[in-house]
C-alpha cells in the first residue's frame, strides 16, 4: 500500500492465474489449455501478416473477424464484440452492464475472476449457493437487482446447465443483463447463442483460448443484441482503440475458417475426457460429469492437496483450490492421450504407496 494509490487500486484483490512453466518435460494440466497446436492455417495467416503490415495499426473495429464469428452463429457483425481474451471482454461487460450499488449474482463455486472484477469496479455481489452436487438452481438467480454472470459449463466444476435453465434465468431478469460465460462450450451440448434473437438482455461470452488452441493469442468475444454490443464498443473505445493486434485478428479469423480442424481436435479431447473419467473412477476418484476440457475430481481416501503436491514432484501440474467446499478436489485439464496416460500412471504410483 502506498499513499499514491488510488482508492481503486486499494480495493483490488488481483486474480492469480495458474502457474506457467517453461520446463520442457512438464505435463501441464493446470490452466485448461488445448494440448493440440492451432490449425496450420492460423500459422500461415500470421506469417503472411507479419511479412507485410506490422508498421500499420490494426483495424480498430475488427469488422472482418466479427463478421466471421457472427456467421458461425447466424449473427451479424454488429451482434459480435471481440476483445483481448474473454477476460477483457468480461471486464468490459462488468463496466458496461453492472452498476455500483446494485448487487449482481454469481454461483458460490465459480470462476474466481468474477469477485475480482466486482471489487475493481465497486459492484456488490451475492454468491448464490450451488446444490450439494454443484448443480445450479435456476430460480435462485431470478429477479436479481444488478444482473447475473455465470459460466456454462461452470468452472471449476465442469458441469453444464441445460439451456432451458439458462433461458429461465434470462427470462426472469428482463431488466438486467445476464452474462453466460461459455469459455468451455465447444466441449458441451449447446450454446445459449441461439437465444440471442429472443432476449435483448442476454450476453454470451466465448473464447478462442480453449477449443481453438489460441490461449497465447488472446482473442475472446461476446455475442448479443446490437445495443449491448454497442455498449461494449463504447467502453473499449474509451480505453484502447486497438485491443487486438494484427496477428490476433488474422489468426483468430483463420481459426474460425478451419472448421474441420476445430471439429477434429474437439472430438479428440471429448473422447480422451470420457476415457480419462473411466480410468480415474477405477482409481477411486469421484469425477463430476464433465462437459468441459477438464475434469473435477476427488479421491475417496486420499487428500487432494497431497495428490497435487505429489504429482508436482513428478512433473505433472494440475490445479488445486484451497477453498472451502472444493478443497478436496483436483481440476485436471484434458491433455493428449499420452499426457493422460502419464497422469494415470503417476496417480496409480502415488495411490499405491
Ligand atoms: N472464463 C472462464 C470460465 C475461464 O475459465 C477462463 C480461462 N481462465 C476465461 C473465462 C478466460 O479465458 P481467456 O481470457 O483466455 O479467453
For residues 171 and 193, what is the distance between their CA atoms, to the nearest angstrom?
A: 14
Q: Which residue has the higher pLDDT, 89 or 22?
A: 89
CB atoms within 10 A of CB 300: 8
**2 part of a folded domain:** no
5 in a structural domain: no
For position 23, what pLDDT does the model report? Answer: 75
Give which of 33, 32, 31 is closest to 17, Cα–Cα: 31
- Can you give the pLDDT at residue 38? 98
* Spatial distance between the Cα atoms of 234 and 217, rounded to a whole number of angstroms: 23
Q: Is the pLDDT of residue 326 over 80?
A: yes
- Ligand 1: residue of 31, 94, 113, 248 to mutate (most ligand atoms within 8 A of CB) is 113
What pLDDT is recorded for position 22? Answer: 76
**In terms of domains, do 242 and 293 share one?**
no
Q: Does residue 110 carry a pLDDT above 80?
A: yes
- 4 confidence band (pLDDT: 50, 70, 90): very high
Q: Is residue 307 part of a domain?
A: yes
Choosing from 258, 282, 302, the residue where a domain stops is 258
Q: Which ligand 1 atom sits closest to the C-alpha of 84?
A: 14
Average pLDDT value for residue range 111-139: 97
Pick the residue whose CA is nearest to atom 12 on ligand 1: 86
Domain containing residue 49: 40-258
Residue 40 pLDDT? 98
Q: Which of 235, 258, 281 is the last residue of a domain?
A: 258
* Residue 1 domain-assigned (yes or no): no
Q: Would 155 be classed as within a structural domain?
A: yes
Q: Is 270 in the pocket of ligand 1 (CB under 6 A)?
A: no
Ligand 1 binding pocket includes 153 (Cβ within 6 Å): no
How far, in Å, CA of 315 to CA of 25, rounded? 7
The CATH number of residue 166's host domain is 3.40.640.10
Q: CA 223 to CA 212: how far, in whole Å?
A: 17
CA distance 241 to 93: 16
296 in Cβ contact with 157 (< 8 Å): yes
Cβ–ligand 1 distance for 155 under 6 Å, the answer yes
With a cut of 90, say whether residue 193 has pLDDT above it: yes
How many other CB atoms sit within 10 Å of the CB of residue 347?
Answer: 25
Q: Are 66 and 220 in contact (CB under 8 A)?
A: no
170 close to 202: Cβ distance less than 8 angstroms: yes
pLDDT, mean over the chain: 97
pLDDT of residue 41: 98
What is the CATH number for 275?
Answer: 3.90.1150.10
Which runs of consecutive H residues, i.e. helices, occur in the chain?
Answer: 7-11, 40-52, 63-72, 85-97, 113-120, 163-171, 226-236, 246-257, 259-282, 304-313, 337-352
> What is the grid cell recorded at 241?
482503440
Of 241, 194, 345, 220, the closest CA to residue 283 belongs to 345
User: Is residue 214 located within the same domain as residue 93?
Assistant: yes
Q: Indicate if 245 and 340 belong to the same structural domain.
A: no
Query: Which are the contacts of 86, defined by CB distance < 8 A and separation ≥ 6?
Result: 181, 183, 205, 206, 207, 209, 220, 221, 222
Closest CA to 134 of 284, 298, 274, 293: 298
- Of 233, 258, 283, the residue that ends a domain is 258
Same domain, 33 and 45: no
- The model's confidence at residue 17, banded by pLDDT at 50, 70 and 90, is confident
Whether pLDDT at 24 is above 80: no
pLDDT at 53: 86
Torsion 73-117-162-340 (CA) sign: positive
Span 270-284, average pLDDT = 98
Q: Of all residues in the chain, what percent are helix, strand and coil, respectively (each to 5)?
A: 40, 15, 45
126 lies in the same domain as 93? yes
* pLDDT tens figures, 73-93: 999 999 999 999 999 999 999
Does residue 88 sit in the same domain as residue 191? yes
Q: Are residues 280 and 142 in the same domain?
A: no
d(CA 310, CA 304): 10
Report which DSSP code applies to 325: T
Q: Are residues 88 and 229 in the same domain?
A: yes
Q: For residue 94, what pLDDT is reported?
A: 98
Mean pLDDT of 324-352: 97
* pLDDT 10s digits, 127-183: 999 999 999 999 999 999 999 999 999 999 999 999 999 999 999 999 999 999 999
In a domain, residue 168? The reply is yes
pLDDT-above-90 percentage for the chain:
96
Does residue 233 sit in the same domain as residue 301? no
State how many domains the chain has: 2
Cα(182) to centroid of ligand 1, in Å? 9
User: If you measure from the C-alpha of residue 353 to the centroid of ligand 1, how many angstroms do you get, rounded to a whole number?
Assistant: 36
- Predicted pLDDT of residue 25: 84
Q: What is the pLDDT of residue 212?
A: 98
Nearest CA to ligand 1 atom 4: 183
Q: Is residue 230 part of a domain?
A: yes
What was the pLDDT predicted at 20? 80
CA 282 to centroid of ligand 1, rounded, Å: 30
pLDDT of residue 208: 98
Euclidean distance between CA atoms 284 and 34, whole angstroms: 26
Kindly give the number of the ligand 1 atom that is closest to the alpha carbon of 87.
14
Same domain, 26 and 73: no
1 has a pLDDT exceeding 90: no
Q: Is the CB of 224 under 6 A from ligand 1?
A: no
Closest ligand 1 atom to 219 CA: 16
Which residue from 94, 116, 183, 203 has its CB within 8 A of the most atoms of ligand 1, so it is best to mutate?
Answer: 183
Task: Give pLDDT, residue 21.
Answer: 78
The answer to whether 220 touches 205, Cβ cutoff 8 Å, is: yes
Decide if 4 is inside a domain: no
Residues 251 and 272 in one domain: no
Q: Are 344 and 352 in contact (CB under 8 A)?
A: no
Ligand 1 touching residue 87 (CB < 6 A) = yes
Tell me, yes or no, whether 214 and 234 share the same domain.
Answer: yes
Distances (CA, A) of 6 to 2, 12, 16, 120, 124: 9, 10, 21, 11, 19
Amino acid at each position: 500500500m502506498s499513499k499514491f494509490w488510488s482508492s481503486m487500486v486499494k480495493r483490488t484483490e488481483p486474480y492469480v492465474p495458474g502457474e506457467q512453466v517453461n520446463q520442457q518435460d512438464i505435463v501441464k494440466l493446470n490452466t485448461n489449455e488445448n494440448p493440440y497446436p492451432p490449425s496450420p492455417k492460423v500459422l500461415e495467416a500470421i506469417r503472411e501478416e507479419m511479412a507485410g503490415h506490422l508498421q500499420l495499426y490494426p483495424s480498430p473495429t475488427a469488422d472482418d473477424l466479427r463478421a466471421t464469428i457472427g456467421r458461425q452463429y447466424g449473427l451479424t457483425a454488429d451482434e459480435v464484440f471481440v476483445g483481448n481474451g474473454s477476460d477483457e471482454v468480461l471486464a468490459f461487460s462488468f463496466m458496461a452492464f453492472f452498476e455500483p450499488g446494485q448487487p449482481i449474482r454469481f454461483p458460490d463455486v465459480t470462476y474466481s475472476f468474477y469477485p475480482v472484477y466486482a471489487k475493481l469496479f465497486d459492484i456488490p455481489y451475492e454468491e448464490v449457493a450451488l446444490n450439494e452436487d454443484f448443480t445450479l438452481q435456476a430460480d435462485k438467480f431470478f429477479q436479481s437487482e444488478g444482473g447475473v454472470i455465470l459460466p456454462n459449463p461452470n468452472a471449476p466444476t465442469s458441469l453444464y446447465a441445460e439451456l432451458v435453465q439458462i433461458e429461465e434465468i434470462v427470462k426472469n431478469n428482463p431488466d438486467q443483463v445476464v452474462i453466460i460465460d461459455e469459455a468451455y462450450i465447444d466441449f458441451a451440448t449447446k450454446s445459449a447463442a441461439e437465444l440471442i434473437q429472443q432476449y435483448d438482455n442476454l450476453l454470451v461470452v466465448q473464447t478462442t483460448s480453449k477449443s481453438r488452441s489460441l490461449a497465447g493469442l488472446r482473442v475472446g468475444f461476446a455475442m448479443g443484441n446490437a445495443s449491448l454490443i454497442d455498449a461494449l464498443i463504447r467502453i473499449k473505445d474509451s480505453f484502447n482503440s486497438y485491443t487486438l493486434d494484427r496477428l490476433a485478428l488474422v489468426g483468430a479469423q483463420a481459426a474460425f475458417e478451419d472448421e474441420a480442424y476445430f471439429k477434429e481436435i474437439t472430438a479428440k479431447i471429448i473422447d480422451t475426457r470420457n476415457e480419462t473419467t473411466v480410468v480415474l473412477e477405477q482409481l477411486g476418484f469421484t469425477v463430476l460429469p464433465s462437459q468441459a476440457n477438464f475434469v473435477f475430481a476427488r479421491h475417496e481416501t486420499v487428500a487432494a492437496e497431497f495428490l497435487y503436491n505429489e504429482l508436482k514432484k513428478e512433473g505433472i501440474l494440475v490445479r488445486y483450490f484451497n477453498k472451502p467446499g472444493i478443497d478436496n478436489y483436483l481440476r485436471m485439464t484434458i491433455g493428449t492421450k499420452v499426457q493422460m496416460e502419464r497422469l494415470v500412471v503417476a496417480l496409480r504410483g502415488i495411490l499405491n504407496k
